[in-house]
Amino acid sequence: MLSLVWPGAHAWPFIWTCAPEATPPPAGKAPIDRNRALDFERNRIPVVMIRLARVGAPKQPYYRIVVIEKDRARNGRSIEVVGTYNPRTSPATVDLKHERIAYWRGQGAQLSPIVEKLVTKNPAGGPAAGPLKASVPTPVPAPVPAPAPAPAAAPAPAPVEAVVETPAAAPTPASVETPTAAPVEAPVEA
């Protein structure tokens, strides 16, 4: 039955004919669960990321470092704000809550590549809200090998006594004679 619908008219024949009838499932088959796709959404474990969310005006970028589910929009609802990044200052300013970032990483949060660079260039021991410094590769000194221990069977060498030499007196001119004291002998008792 086809009927024309004009403004204000009810479309009840279509609703009545399109309503599904409740039929039992065929023998030996389980009933179809129409909410199965919704169960997947309800029971999934979200992947959490720490990434940038842009909050600045046009041509004036300013970023929040946020903890957010991976499949949400860039500026979507975040779980927590863990820092800020301002690339417009000279040098760029980074403010991080390192203890919260460590907590979320412990919970399994992934860092985006840019946030990973910001965290490595601004370690927790550094200034709390300091400028972003360019990284200059510093040469790492080669490890010095430890000396091998001496075998226990070999006897220890005898200590060497240092010979201390006193400097010789400067020669005096022969024309000047200095008086010398005669050695005094002690009296001998018999």
User: In CATH, what number is assigned to the domain containing residue 54?
Assistant: 3.30.1320.10
What percent of the chain is modeled with pLDDT above 90? 33
- Please report the pLDDT score of residue 73 as a whole number: 87
| 79 falls within a domain | yes
| pLDDT on residue 95 | 94
pLDDT category of residue 12 using cuts at 50, 70 and 90: low
Least confident of 82-86, 100-104, 178-182, 186-190: 178-182
More confident residue, 47 or 138: 47
Q: Could you tell me the sign of the dihedral formed by the alpha carbons of 63, 69, 70, 75, in that order?
A: negative
Exposure string (b/e) for 94-107, b if CB count within 10 Å is 16 or more? bebbbebbeebeee
Q: What is the pLDDT of residue 173?
A: 57
Cα–Cα distance, 79 to 72 (Å, whole number): 11
Three-class SS of 5-29: CCCCCCCHHHHHHHCCCCCCCCCCC
Domain that holds residue 112: 43-121
> Shortest CA distance to 25 belongs to which of 34, 37, 15, 16?
34
Residue 147 β-bridge partners: none
* Domain membership flag for residue 68: yes
In a domain, 137, yes or no: no
Assigned domain for 66 exists: yes
- Domain presence at residue 185: no
Q: Which of 124, 108, 112 is nearest to 63 (CA)?
A: 112
Instruction: Give 178 or 19, the one with higher predicted confidence.
Output: 178
Domain count, the chain: 1
Arithmetic mean of pLDDT over the chain: 74
Model confidence at 32, pLDDT cuts 50, 70, 90, reads low
Integer Rg of the chain from CA: 45
CA distance 14 to 117: 60
129 pLDDT higher than 90: no
pLDDT at 76 exceeding the cut of 90:
no
Which segments within the chain are labelled E, that is strand?
48-54, 63-69, 80-86, 93-96, 110-111
Once rounded to an integer, what is the mean pLDDT over residues 152-174?
61
Taking residues 34-58, what's their average pLDDT?
Answer: 78
Burial environment of residue 119 by CB neighbours within 10 A (0 to 12, 13 to 18, 19 or more): buried
Q: Mean pLDDT across the stretch 89-105?
A: 93
Does the residue 84 lie in any domain?
yes
